[in-house]
Structure 1
């Protein structure tokens, strides 16, 4: 990667994405390895307006891109599941997509996630509509917002998606 491309990716990572009353910050994507067929994205969505709902996500980076959440299947075992109804975004509130919790799941990657590159992602909201962002790939990152969530990757029942979250 050239210095110019690296600088542009670093600038994107540092800058929040704004779309009306929706602000996206602290976004990053990762996969478990260079040969992984799955990946995940994590980000913070700040809503500076009325209540909304994140309905779906899309990206050319994978054959299937979905909103996922971890739910307790009993006995302390977390299972990752597609959240068909999306995620509520409270009025003047924050929705955090993070490792071990709600996140964007990429299945059938069209090419490997490479450190320093970015992944195009479209977030579709019920009220705000489509918000298109570039999510920087950070394969080294093990935490978000200062809270380490890497311990969740060892839970059983991850539906065969790998341990990217």
Structure 2
């Protein structure tokens, strides 16, 4: 009986841990979010994640985080030989597929940071989708050069 109870507790804790890195709203699932730590007095940072869609097409319209005064959806474009970040008015999330918000591509830009983003910290980020609505996720801060969420 004790083994069964302990096993149930361990299983429950592992499910809780998995749920903490994945958020669902409607047909949209947001997983593996992270932000890069900022160096020195940097006033801007980026947040990244995987957004999967199990239903009809949707669109990420906006994001909001209190860690900075401005939060925008951005992408990278090639301007001659230089890569530049540019704001976008939304990010299409096609039906039955996913979109990776990752370094060098689509991302959430955090500007006029109120304090540096420090590795090991986390912050809430609200994502608003055209059809699914708004979901607030928790974004862990990884090291400065991170290319994926910390484990």
Q: If the length of structure 1 is used for normalisation, what is the TM-score?
A: 0.74
| Structure (1/2) with the larger strand percentage | 2
Tell me the matched-pair count: 133
State which of 61, 77, 85 in structure 2 corresponds to 1:80: 85
1:144 — aligned with what?
148
Residues 1-165 of structure 1 aligned to structure 2 (within 5 Å): 11=17, 15-74=21-80, 76-83=81-88, 85-144=89-148
Q: Does the CA-based 8 Å contact 2:37-2:144 persist in structure 1?
A: no
The structural deviation recorded for 1:140 is 4.8
The structural deviation recorded for 1:15 is 2.5
Residue-by-residue CA offset, 1:64-95 (whole Å, 9 max, x unaligned): 00001001112x32111011x21100001101
Residue segments in structure 1 that go unaligned for 5+ positions in a row: 1-10, 146-165
Q: If the length of structure 2 is used for normalisation, what is the TM-score?
A: 0.81
SS of corresponding position for 1:144: coil
The structural deviation recorded for 1:115 is 1.5
Q: Does the CA-based 8 Å contact 2:39-2:144 persist in structure 1?
A: no
1:7 — aligned with what?
none
The structural deviation recorded for 1:41 is 0.2
